[in-house]
Amino acid sequence: MRLWPVLLGAAAAVAMAGPAVAGDFSAAVTRLAETEVKLWINHPTIIDAVRAQNIQHARLSTEDILRLDQRWRAETISPSKPMIQALMANALSSFLMQKKQASKGLYTEIFVMDNKGLNVGQSDITSDYWQGDEAKWQKTFQVGPNAMLIETMKRDRSTHVLQCQLSLPVADPVTGEVIGAITVGIDVSKLPR
């Protein structure tokens, strides 16, 4: 019975530290974005892949996008995955896999989206193909080249890792025009302090 006051006191201390931890977390993710991620999102592998897919998908209708997304979702639970395998085998996905591996666990996933919110390349298979209906695309691509979205920390159900997602617009280095977006999953426990 004497343990309860200690546990309640510890819980209260954690609750009171919440805003400070949240502020440190956001500042650490912003530093990571500024000092690392923004340095490699202008890599020709990313820019060229997004430009090419924007041209390829220029005439897609909303119905076409939804159909592609449904196909992707169906493939995630199917033994046959031609659409997923093609995307995972492209040069951009290989580049993103290398970035994830080089981060030594800091990055939990990385994916790049085109000007419609469709995945162009990714380090890991996502649950859906279309991100255009989500904040990660809407609050970056639609906002402009200086946008940044840091989503709240969540514990991943499968890995049990406390992580967040950092999303940034991908801008054409020549014109400055926003051509896509990138989302980087971050293991919060590995953030540089």
What are the tokens at 90?
A: 């492209």
Q: What residues contact 66, with CB distance under 8 A and at least 6 apart? A: 130
Phi and psi (nearest 5°) for 164? -135, 170
94 near 120, Cβ under 8 Å?
no
Instruction: Name the class of domain 42-190.
Output: alpha beta
Tens place of pLDDT for every residue, the chain, 193 residues?
Answer: 333 333 233 233 233 333 334 557 889 999 999 999 999 999 999 999 999 999 999 999 999 999 999 999 999 999 999 999 999 999 999 999 999 999 999 999 999 999 999 999 999 999 999 999 999 999 999 999 999 999 988 887 656 788 999 999 999 999 999 999 999 999 998 987 7
Question: For residue 169, what is the DSSP state?
Answer: E
Identify the pLDDT of residue 159: 66
Rounded CA-CA distance 47/45 in Å is 6
Identify the pLDDT of residue 23: 56
Q: What is the domain partition of the chain in residue ranges?
A: 42-190
Q: What is the pTM of this model?
A: 0.86
What are the tokens at 162?
A: 């406390």
Rounded CA-CA distance 27/161 in Å is 20
